[in-house]
Amino acid sequence: MVDHSELATPARVRLEKPGIVVLVGSFLGAFIEAALLFVAAGRLDLPRAWLFLVVSLVGMFGQSVLVAAVNPGLVNHRGGWKKKKDTQPWDKLLLILYGLLAFYVLPVVVGLDVGRYRWSSLGVWAAVVGTILFAAGTVVLTWAMLVNTHFEVTVRIQHDRGHRVVTAGPYRIVRHPGYVGASLWALAGPLIVGSAFGFVPAAGAIAILIVRTALEDKTLQNQLPGYTQYAQKTKCRLLPPIW
C-alpha cells in the first residue's frame, strides 16, 4: 500500500500462487483475529466480537477479491513482497511492528478487556461508528489499489515495473490514501467490539503508519521523478488540511 504509479490498464494476467496466498490470507486473517480475541476473552457470547469478525471478513476478503478480479498482477506482486530485494531496509521493521500491533496485539487486548476483565465498555453507538469507519477504510484502500497498479506491500522504487507518479482517484486528495484506510481500520476494531483499551495498540499501529508515511514520502521525493512536483500540488500526506 505504498508506491505511486501512473494509472494504466494492467496487462491481463492470471492469478498466480503469490496472489492466491493473498486471497487465502485475507480470508483467514479475519478468523485469526477473531480467534485471538475469543481466546483472550475466554468466552464466545460476545455479539459485538462476532460483528467484528463479519465486518473484517467482508472488508478484507471482499477487497482482495475485487482487486484480484480487476488487476490480478498487482495481487501477485503483493503476495511476493518478501522476494523484493530493493525494499527500503527500515520498512521491513515497520511492517513487522505494524502487523504485530494491528492484527495480533489489538484483538488480544480487546478480548481481555471486554471478555475477561471488563476494564471498559463502549455503548452501541461505538459499534455503529466503528462499522462506518471500517467500511470507509475499505473503500479508500480499495479505491487506491484500483487506480494504482504499483500499490505494493513494501516501500521501494519499482524500476522493474516502470514506476511513475499517480494523481488519479484518492491521490488527488492525499498522497498516501492507503495509510488513511489502514488507520481507519485500526480505529474501527476497538469501537466495534466496545473496548476503550483497544485504542492503545490501535494508536501504536497508527503511529507506525505516520512514521512510515514520512519516511516513504522522503524516499519518493528523493528517488521518484515527478513526485516532488506532485507533492507541491497535493500538499497533504494523510489528513487534509492538517498534514
Q: What is the pLDDT of residues 109-158, one digit of tens each?
A: 999 999 999 999 999 999 999 999 999 999 999 999 999 999 999 999 99
Q: Rounded to whole angstroms, how far apart are CA atoms 20 and 82?
A: 15
Q: Which pLDDT score, from 0 to 100, does residue 97 have?
A: 97
- Which of 194, 9, 184, 205 minimizes the C-alpha distance to 97? 205
Q: Are 60 and 66 in contact, with CB atoms under 8 Å apart?
A: no
Only one residue has cell 453507538, namely: 125
* Residue type, position 154, single letter: T
Position 10 pLDDT exceeds 60: no
76: which DSSP letter?
H
Q: Which pLDDT score, from 0 to 100, does residue 241 have?
A: 85
Question: What does the block give as the cell for 38?
Answer: 475469543
Position 59 pLDDT exceeds 80: yes
Mean pLDDT across 2-8: 44
Q: Which pLDDT score, from 0 to 100, does residue 6 have?
A: 42
Write down the pTM of the prediction: 0.92
- Which of 184, 110, 186, 173 minimizes the C-alpha distance to 147? 173
pLDDT tens sequence across 173-214: 999 999 999 999 999 999 999 999 999 999 999 999 999 999
Omega before 241 within 30 of 0, i.e. cis: yes
**17-233: CATH class:** mainly alpha
Q: Are 187 and 135 in contact, with CB atoms under 8 Å apart?
A: no
